[in-house]
Structure 1
């Protein structure tokens, strides 16, 4: 009888019995963990690309919802609703990104009799439009940045109105989120170019080309406030998060609390956030974002409200002890908040780093491939929110964020030290990541001091492509030799064949490397793996290294080929990453100058403009909508006839010169835009990243 009573009590306190998680990756895993803790049966959905993903393995049930393309799976409301009905789910938790801010999806859930774990349709409608949101909160007394927010203005009228506001200006798509499509204009000429560019991105990404202009606040701090609200009029805030460390308007490292705000300003900005939430009868968990002047930290301006859970919510959970997903579920079930403002106390400090599959040395282009080894860090105060596993294929179908590494400490210094140690212990072999960049960023003196602003990363020196230390190269050579011997023995090779395998692995390059002393603690690898392309990946205390299979002969051949093509500039324009051609910016046969944009390619929520590295006549090799692979030729620039006749043989570089290829990815000008990818903040067809 006692057991039955306990079960009944659990049913009366848990908000739901069955919840479907309409997302993937680390946020799906994170939501499922809270569902398990509350005794709620979890239902995962998956595309063909995620059939064996960690969130599918962790859930109690799972339903296939379509092919890899997000538009045909995770972004299809009808498929999600059908999966919920099929499994008897009472509620749908959308995570962040995808359909989390889609008012139409919230309505579809309501019409189907399924609870949408999120705010009401009014809040989604108002806050999903930056222009409408700004006007709405202004009426409630929330301070906003001066600007232009008139959707009736065409490009010319918008430019004229912007000039009246004054430069510099920030051009922003009204729909969407996460900084996608934003452009900075410092004068009238830049504004005239930025407006059509931002409108094109907005139309392609969100189906809505409406723009707004805001005065650009120099050296700003990006500070956001976490709010919770219920159906009974209670609205509280859980302090702020500092999100100023951004690259191209995408957050990289976040922390709580902000090292800038004092107690009085914290209370004022929290009150403003609650006022913004009340203005739309908000329900559940949400985030109100502000710009704060570094020179005047007591001044803050409303940017937007994100009507969902944020990527960086773990830092708030760590300093408050509040499970935000649990609070979302309870509010969605109609339960009142049991927390009051007086109950919220910020204790200690937490900091989070976003781990991306991208190459900082190649302009932060996304990286794809087989994830050979994934090992999470551990230790005091370390939390990892991840949704990946060893052996998983990282594709261009979704956002490149792999995981979040979070650290908590008694103070900011301890939290940063613990995060750096955790990043050192994180093992990701098989795809390029931003791990090394994150550690360099944490070590920056300004970051250590807490002197942050949204332009800090842009002012950092470009990351260099460091050559692997001799000890690392020697370890890779020994690994290849051992692999060759093991393979030969397994095949029943004779002794002389086995010996020959050793010699091949220890030929000219490897013999010299083999003499290096591998005793250094920083360079001695603790994890080694081989990729299908013959590259060897090694994890060491000093970083992660990829040693390609190609040797000196191949490198020399590539250098000579560049010289034969005319020196430093490559007339062949190549795709910097696999993706989809979203725009062809010139016509076949047009004359282009060095630096002119020729083709735009989108993948993993980023659009990259491939630019001409030489002047001449362009010959296109692709069309809009075409899928391209990395390094595929998308166009070629041919010399103009009169130019080719005057070329002197003295223009050829000496063979002894160091030749660097100015290929398309080196000349590309990346612009972040959301695609049908799985990370946060887009509307009405959101991506999954902020």
Structure 2
């Protein structure tokens, strides 16, 4: 029989997703959380919650499971999911680990050992060499790819194009492997041109039954990190699918695998030849697309297998129905080199229901998310926030459904990769299924506009923000209402609206709810505004545009069709009735990402030159030097070393005038 109580040794969207299946099965869910995660969504959605120092503390998590009365532990993915010591410690404590045996984790966690094991089972592998048996310095088949044996996620991989590059590449790869994984052992493989990344989902019980659930196409990547995944692949023929599925089953059998796992292959884009890369001994981030085309709940299957049940179906019972595609929503800024971002979630709109769902005659949208309004996204954890998944009877319809779902998604309060995702899923090569792992990098200029253009605020957005601010009093005093009232004709009220692309002066007079006059870039237009629950309906001339909106102090976020803009207001006085008489904004220097001020290299009142370092911010173990945008005097310097800062927090203000 299944368990009564299961502890989820994870956080974020995967912990929420596991809790939903546990609730459906009538199993009590137990969450763990760090002090900073006490109010997180996965904690709120679980039946019980216990605090641990961190998500990698094996003894604390096992102790929490025992304290809660849990019979089993589900590791999710990441953190301890592929930690053989954790699996063994659970067994020692009398807890069932809802994952594979520790021996299987170890066998597949070492890339060199994994290749040898599956090769002996008849699974094709990429030709290559490995330490300590091979002298990698003597490799002569270029281009080649160097990989850390203990690595994953693309970290430490180095492409080598000639023998001259090899010594430095090996040194760099060893240094990265030692720092990231504690093991400097490397392997080298022949580089596959125009490769496609295809993975096969396998499921095995403890009674010797192993099946595969078809493939996932994971070729849309940036720096070896997946962005968009789909099932089935538009590339594989039925014959190749069957052969790769059989190879994946043999790879799983070779290590005595039990549970859900993924066998990853590299496929030559010019042929149907394929080679084993690695096996992920856990649930994958992209597992929802497999669930949507098979109608199976993989978390439920993991739990049933862990409880000792036999698989209730055989290979002949597995059917792939329709097409599913998933996009990963990240707290990152594509216009700033995909730097991680952060902030408080002021408004959240998710277009589908979370949890497994089978396909049907109509399109399906599913969202797996760890977000909640009011929650804070920081730089402490992985920046993935949610996954938006679409199913439809055919591939084209699935991509169109996903694009519409992304357009209806909104996260106001922080910058995300939503516009980038919409551009990617709409790209002609993606829609045509002409995919390989280098496609995203090649077309990146088409997907991410230059930084200046990416931050540019459309005039109608400035007008909408000015109307929204204009309709709000500055304080409780009715005399502070900024409607420009005076005897006779209303006066202009001028707002200085700061955004990522600079400072804008927008003038307003009149009543926003009836008819106000706005000057944007000297052009006067009549406008009015209506408010709803989290929405603004702005009519400018004959055009009405609806925006989602949220306020945090003097900053207003506006969102529409997946795009979002943040504007901070400053009332800069009454310039009278002179259109365009707005003050010029000073040079405001903002933090490029959430982090901690490591060093302040300037002082208030100091004269600085354009490009001169002002502040160094540390985030995600990287240092970012923030420089002066222009010549001038440091008018404000509100931060100090050791101070945590949000993304776009003001670090300094540079004035071109004498103080």
TM-score category by the smaller chain?
Answer: 0.7 to 0.9
Alignment of 1:441-452 (within 5 A): 441-452=424-435
Tell me which residue corresponds to 1:327. 301
Alignment of 1:647-658 (within 5 A): none
Tell me which residue corresponds to 1:173. 148
Runs of 5+ unmatched residues, structure 1: 1-11, 67-72, 581-599, 602-607, 612-625, 633-654, 656-690
Residues 574-622 of structure 1 show CA distances to partners (whole Å, capped at 9, x for unaligned) of: 6576233xxxxxxxxxxxxxxxxxxx54xxxxxx9999xxxxxxxxxxx
Tell me which residue corresponds to 2:630. none
Tell me which residue corresponds to 1:644. none
* Matched residue SS, 2:32: strand
TM-superposed CA distance for 1:443, in Å, is 1.2
Q: Confirm or deny that 1:53 pairs with 2:40.
A: yes
Q: Which moved more, 1:122-131 or 1:536-545?
A: 536-545
Runs of 5+ unmatched residues, structure 2: 354-362, 497-503, 508-518, 528-537, 571-581, 591-603, 628-641, 649-655
TM-superposed CA distance for 1:426, in Å, is 0.1
Alignment of 1:509-588 (within 5 A): 509-511=505-507, 512-513=519-520, 515-516=524-525, 519=539, 524-532=545-553, 534-541=554-561, 543-549=563-569, 553-554=584-585, 570=611, 572=613, 575=616, 578-580=619-621
* Matched residue SS, 1:431: coil
| Pair 1:627–1:330, CA change in 2 (3 A) | farther
| Pair 1:294–1:390, CA change in 2 (3 A) | same
Question: Distance in 2 between the 1:260 and 1:92 partners?
Answer: 37
TM-superposed CA distance for 1:223, in Å, is 0.2
Q: Confirm or deny that 1:236 pairs with 2:211.
A: yes
* Matched residue SS, 1:515: strand
Question: Distance in 2 between the 1:449 and 1:295 partners?
Answer: 16
1:366 to 314, 317, 340: 340
Residues 220-248 of structure 1 show CA distances to partners (whole Å, capped at 9, x for unaligned) of: 00000000001111000000000000011
Bigger proportion of residues as strand: 2
Question: Distance in 2 between the 1:578 and 1:294 partners?
Answer: 38
Asked if the contact 1:366–1:577 (Cα under 8 Å) also holds between the matched residues in 2, the reply is no
TM-superposed CA distance for 1:482, in Å, is 2.1
Tell me which residue corresponds to 1:425. 408
Q: Confirm or deny that 1:149 pairs with 2:130.
A: yes
* Matched residue SS, 2:52: strand
* Matched residue SS, 2:585: helix
Residues 500-554 of structure 1 show CA distances to partners (whole Å, capped at 9, x for unaligned) of: 998544478212228357548999342112234x332111137222234479733
Alignment of 1:27-106 (within 5 A): 27-66=14-53, 73-106=54-87
* Matched residue SS, 2:168: helix
Asked if the contact 2:341–2:647 (Cα under 8 Å) also holds between the matched residues in 1, the reply is no
Asked if the contact 2:615–2:625 (Cα under 8 Å) also holds between the matched residues in 1, the reply is no
- Count of residues in correspondence between the two structures: 561
| Pair 1:382–1:495, CA change in 2 (3 A) | closer
Question: Distance in 1 between the 2:67 and 2:111 partners?
Answer: 36
* Matched residue SS, 2:15: helix
| Pair 1:342–1:610, CA change in 2 (3 A) | farther
Residues 208-266 of structure 1 show CA distances to partners (whole Å, capped at 9, x for unaligned) of: 22222122112100000000001111000000000000011000000000000010000
TM-superposed CA distance for 1:199, in Å, is 2.3
Q: Which moved more, 1:368-377 or 1:309-318?
A: 368-377
Tell me which residue corresponds to 2:471. 482
Alignment of 1:114-513 (within 5 A): 114-151=95-132, 157-158=135-136, 160-162=137-139, 164=140, 166-296=141-271, 298-378=272-352, 380-462=363-445, 463-464=448-449, 465-466=453-454, 467-483=456-472, 485=473, 487-488=474-475, 490-493=476-479, 499=485, 503-506=492-495, 509-511=505-507, 512-513=519-520
Relative contact order (C-alpha < 8 Å, sep 6+): which is higher? 1
TM-superposed CA distance for 1:194, in Å, is 2.7
Asked if the contact 1:579–1:627 (Cα under 8 Å) also holds between the matched residues in 2, the reply is no
Tell me which residue corresponds to 1:107. 88
Tell me which residue corresponds to 1:592. none
- Report the TM-score when normalising by structure 1: 0.76
| Pair 1:549–1:198, CA change in 2 (3 A) | farther
Tell me which residue corresponds to 2:636. none
Asked if the contact 2:406–2:562 (Cα under 8 Å) also holds between the matched residues in 1, the reply is no
Q: Which moved more, 1:507-516 or 1:127-136?
A: 507-516
Asked if the contact 1:523–1:541 (Cα under 8 Å) also holds between the matched residues in 2, the reply is no
Question: Distance in 2 between the 1:558 and 1:101 partners?
Answer: 42
TM-superposed CA distance for 1:188, in Å, is 3.2
| Pair 1:17–1:294, CA change in 2 (3 A) | same
Question: Distance in 2 between the 1:185 and 1:255 partners?
Answer: 30
Tell me which residue corresponds to 2:637. none
Q: Which moved more, 1:506-515 or 1:299-308?
A: 506-515
TM-superposed CA distance for 1:54, in Å, is 1.0
Question: Distance in 1 between the 2:561 and 2:60 partners?
Answer: 45
| Pair 1:495–1:631, CA change in 2 (3 A) | closer
| Pair 1:557–1:317, CA change in 2 (3 A) | closer
| Pair 1:400–1:499, CA change in 2 (3 A) | farther
| Pair 1:522–1:118, CA change in 2 (3 A) | farther
Asked if the contact 2:331–2:417 (Cα under 8 Å) also holds between the matched residues in 1, the reply is yes
TM-superposed CA distance for 1:557, in Å, is 7.5
For the aligned residue pairs, the C-alpha RMSD in angstroms reads 3.0
Question: Distance in 2 between the 1:18 and 1:28 partners?
Answer: 15
Asked if the contact 1:578–1:630 (Cα under 8 Å) also holds between the matched residues in 2, the reply is no
- Report the TM-score when normalising by structure 2: 0.80
Asked if the contact 1:319–1:346 (Cα under 8 Å) also holds between the matched residues in 2, the reply is yes
Question: Distance in 2 between the 1:631 and 1:477 partners?
Answer: 23
Question: Distance in 1 between the 2:266 and 2:404 partners?
Answer: 31
Question: Distance in 2 between the 1:41 and 1:558 partners?
Answer: 49
Question: Distance in 2 between the 1:39 and 1:17 partners?
Answer: 8
Question: Distance in 2 between the 1:206 and 1:627 partners?
Answer: 30
| Pair 1:23–1:609, CA change in 2 (3 A) | farther
